[in-house]
Amino acid sequence: MEPVTPSEGWGALHLFYRVDRERAEREPGGAKRVLDAVASLEADEHQALCFAVLGHKADFGVMALGPDLARLQAFEQELAAAPLAPSWSYVSLTERSEYTSDEERARQRLYPRLPLKNAICFYPMSKRRDPEANWYALPFEERKQLMEGHGRIGRSYAGRVLQLITGSVGLDDWEWGVTLLADDPAVLKEIVYEMRFDEVSARYADFGPFFTGLLLEPPEALRRVGLAD
């Protein structure tokens, strides 16, 4: 299989599934299929964060991340062989920011290592192109200044929230995927609320659906959603 590797950044797949309970009962070995797929993805130098989704939008979620889009697509196919019915997905690439020139920060954003916190929140967002609030019509200097205000709020959550912004312009229905990891779920709510008052979000942002889940070691995540062999 020829690798498909972006010249910069990694691919990110956010995959959401419902457990097909009838199939799981009929065909034992479903959990093992998922665990084998995750282990083999990780052996190929990619990451997979598994989570038990809260609420009815999905049961099980995986954020898969790494350099080879062909490998990520193969992983998606391996999960399709398990008793999981796709419910939603999001495709994006890690990106450096246009507004920071710090090389170490850029490296962390392009090639992140994601830790296992208690909770994960994912949502897609776009910047507005309304006649009276068009982000893309602002001069670079003004956008940069606005993003500095955003970054200041973000940095006040250092150590409490880990954020990964992945870009999806030209790849999926929104412009960015926002992945937030935290041990304290209240902090997820707090940071998003605080940012709503910041001009970048208040005036220029539109948001898609939010998914929240409990981040767990893969075998435990599967047990929690009722997939155990």
Catalytic residue IDs: 123
1 is an interface residue for ligand 76R by CB under 6 A: no
**CB under 6 A: which stretch of 7-15, 58-66, 175-183, 211-219 binds ligand 76R?**
175-183
Q: What is the C-alpha separation between 16 and 118, in angstroms, rounded?
A: 18
Record the tokens describing residue 48, joined without a space: 């997979």
**3-state percent helix, strand, coil for the chain, nearest multiple of 5:** 35, 30, 30
Query: Which phi and psi (to 5°) does residue 112 adopt?
Result: -80, 155
Candidates 151, 185, 219, 226; binder of ligand 76R (CB under 6 A) is 151
Q: What is the C-alpha separation between 213 and 228, in angstroms, rounded?
A: 19
Under the phi-then-psi rule, with left for phi > 0, alpha for psi from -120 to 50, and beta for the rest, what region is 62? beta
Candidates 176, 214, 216, 227; binder of ligand 76R (CB under 6 A) is 176
For ligand 76R, the closer CB: 80 or 192 = 192
**CB under 6 A: which stretch of 14-22, 82-90, 112-120, 160-168 binds ligand 76R?**
160-168
By beta-carbon distance, which residue lies closest to ligand 76R?
Answer: 154
> Are 198 and 154 within 8 A, CB to CB?
no
185 is an interface residue for ligand 76R by CB under 6 A: no
For ligand 76R, the closer CB: 59 or 95 = 95
Query: Which phi and psi (to 5°) does residue 183 adopt?
Result: -80, -35
Residues in contact with ligand 76R by CB under 6 A are: 97-100, 105, 109, 125, 127, 147, 150-151, 154-155, 157-158, 161, 163, 165, 176, 178, 180, 191-192, 195-196, 201, 205
